[in-house]
């Protein structure tokens, strides 16, 4: 993951969150569903209270994930990637839109879930790893990247600004959660797509946006303009 992740893109770029935006369910929620949560600290509670960073909280949850790789890999489809994703990415590309996936989750599971379209999208996420001994882990990207964030690992608003600085003609953004708020606030209403928690926050702030239910809704909206 380097600055070059954003080089050579088309003039229109859809910057999109992954968990809960391209998928129906967040990967960490899939993990929380299969492990007894009374055996672990309240990572999210500690995160919301400011005692853990988002990166530390997700890493903490990941450490409780099954240590058997075969079991772990069987959990990936439970995130329910929008089945129209490959078709929509290709249609968007044909109409001058590139897709940049930006996530405060980890590259480990996003790379695997998006493997069929790996060459057709750019992915910026936190570094993640799995070994039988250390289990599933997540850490921060290099401090050298312009979108480094101590809290989320990945600063999505900084990625939008980086694309703006590079002269990208049009930038759309889609998201659903806390790591998406800052980026959503700097995108114009016609280019902003939100659901769930993010949609509620933007509504409270009086900011305009397109509401979506599944990721292909976004592609359909951009392609029908
Ligand atoms: Mg999300």
- Per-residue pLDDT of 160-212, as tens digits, reads 999 999 999 999 999 999 999 999 999 999 999 999 999 999 999 999 999 99
**64 in a structural domain:** no
**73 in a structural domain:** no
**155 in a structural domain:** yes
- Distance (Å) from CA 125 to ligand 1 centroid: 12
Domain count of the chain?
A: 1
Neighbouring C-beta atoms of residue 200, cutoff 10 Å: 11
Structure-token match 């695997």, residue found = 112
- Distance (Å) from CA 142 to ligand 1 centroid: 22
Range of the domain at 179: 3-26+78-223
- Distance (Å) from CA 177 to ligand 1 centroid: 5
**39 in a structural domain:** no
Specify whether the CB–CB gap between 81 and 88 falls below 8 A.
Answer: no
- Distance (Å) from CA 180 to ligand 1 centroid: 7
- Distance (Å) from CA 174 to ligand 1 centroid: 9
**31 in a structural domain:** no
Whichever domain contains 133, its CATH number is 3.40.50.1000
Tens of pLDDT, residue by residue over 107-134, are 999 999 999 999 999 999 999 999 999 9
pLDDT tier for residue 3 given thresholds of 50, 70 and 90? low
- Mean pLDDT score, 30-55: 92
**167 in a structural domain:** yes
Residue 219 exposed, middle or buried by CB count within 10 Å (0-12, 13-18, 19+): buried
């Amino acid at each position: 993951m380097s600055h070059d992740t954003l080089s050579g893109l088309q003039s229109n770029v859809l910057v999109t969150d992954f968990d809960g935006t391209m998928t129906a369910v967040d990967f960490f929620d899939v993990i929380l569903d299969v492990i007894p949560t009374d055996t672990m600290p309240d990572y999210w509670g500690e995160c919301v209270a400011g005692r853990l960073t988002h990166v530390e909280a997700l890493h903490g949850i990941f450490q409780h994930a099954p240590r058997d790789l075969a079991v772990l890999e069987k959990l990936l489809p439970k995130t329910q990637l929008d089945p129209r994703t490959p078709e929509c990415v290709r249609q968007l590309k044909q109409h001058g839109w590139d897709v940049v996936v930006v996530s405060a989750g980890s590259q480990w599971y996003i790379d695997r879930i998006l493997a069929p379209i790996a060459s057709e999208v750019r992915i910026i996420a936190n570094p993640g790893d799995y070994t039988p001994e250390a289990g599933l882990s997540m850490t921060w990207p290099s401090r050298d990247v312009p979108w480094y964030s101590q809290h989320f690992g990945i600063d999505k608003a900084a990625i939008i600004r980086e694309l703006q600085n590079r002269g990208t003609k049009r930038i759309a953004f889609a998201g659903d959660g806390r790591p998406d708020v800052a980026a959503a606030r700097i995108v114009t209403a016609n280019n902003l797509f939100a659901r769930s928690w993010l949609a509620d926050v933007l509504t409270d702030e009086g900011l305009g946006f397109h509401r979506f239910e599944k990721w292909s809704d976004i592609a359909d909206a951009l392609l029908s303009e």
